[in-house]
């Protein structure tokens, strides 16, 4: 268990760029389709059961939510995309907010894209990856709910996704993850430590 991430505490939830915390220090954002298990992944990574709100209704996260780890480092929960039963106008508003955040936020050190291992690389996932690439962000793909597949099938899917996202010649790290078994937590911590400068 990594005690640093247990320090995570809610700071604010906003729907506009100018209401975000000061653009200083370092932060890592989490993005994912609304039913991919993003909030559960954040809770598992932080060893906290109710830090990021989970819901049986996809699309619960409708704002950009900031969690402080210390005075200079943060985790950020972006609005779930793709599946939420909301109006097209609201979806467009979310998209504009996320695109602006990813392209303009100077303290953003990396982007974690959370995907259900049974339904990876949807059009929405690819859009997030493209935004991340355009913003020249470090990228990590988490294939969540890996416990739903047999070990061999999960690793085969891991290889398939890794090859698919490497097609443009850029290496993107892909990891298996399960909130149920907590597998994959340590590799995620090692990536976040590097991006956030933990231990520097």
**Residue located via tokens 């060893």:** 47
Q: What is the pLDDT of residues 24-79, one digit of tens each?
A: 999 999 999 878 889 899 999 999 888 886 544 444 456 899 999 999 999 999 98
C-beta separation of 116 from 36 below 8 A: yes
**In whole angstroms, what is the distance from residue 60 CA to residue 84 CA?**
8
3-state secondary structure of 113: strand
Locate the domains of the chain by residue range. 3-196
Q: What is the pLDDT of residues 92-120, one digit of tens each?
A: 787 888 889 999 999 999 999 999 999 99
**In whole angstroms, what is the distance from residue 60 CA to residue 4 CA?**
27
CATH of 3-196, one of 3.40.50.970, 3.20.20.140, 3.40.50.300, 3.30.930.10: 3.40.50.300
Q: Which of 173, 166, 170, 171 is nearest to 188 (CA)?
A: 173
**In whole angstroms, what is the distance from residue 135 CA to residue 99 CA?**
9
């Amino acid at each position: 268990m990594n005690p640093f991430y247990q320090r995570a505490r809610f700071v604010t939830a906003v729907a506009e760029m100018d209401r975000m915390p000061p653009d200083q220090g370092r932060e890592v954002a989490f993005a994912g389709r609304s039913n991919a298990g993003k909030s559960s992944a954040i809770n598992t990574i932080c060893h906290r059961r109710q830090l990021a709100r989970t819901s049986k209704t996809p699309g619960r996260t409708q704002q950009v939510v900031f969690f402080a780890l210390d005075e200079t480092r943060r985790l950020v929960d972006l609005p779930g995309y793709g599946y939420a039963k909301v109006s097209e106008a609201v979806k467009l508003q979310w998209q504009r907010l996320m695109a602006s955040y990813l392209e303009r936020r100077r303290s953003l050190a990396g982007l974690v894209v959370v995907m259900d291992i049974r339904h990876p690389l949807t059009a929405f996932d690819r859009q997030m990856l493209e935004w991340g690439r355009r913003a020249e962000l470090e990228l990590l793909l988490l294939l969540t709910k890996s416990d739903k597949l047999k070990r061999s099938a999960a690793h085969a899917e891991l290889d398939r996704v890794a090859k698919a996202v490497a097609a443009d010649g850029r290496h993107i790290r892909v990891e298996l993850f399960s909130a149920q078994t907590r597998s994959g937590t340590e590799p995620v911590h090692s990536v976040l430590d590097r991006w956030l400068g933990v231990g520097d």
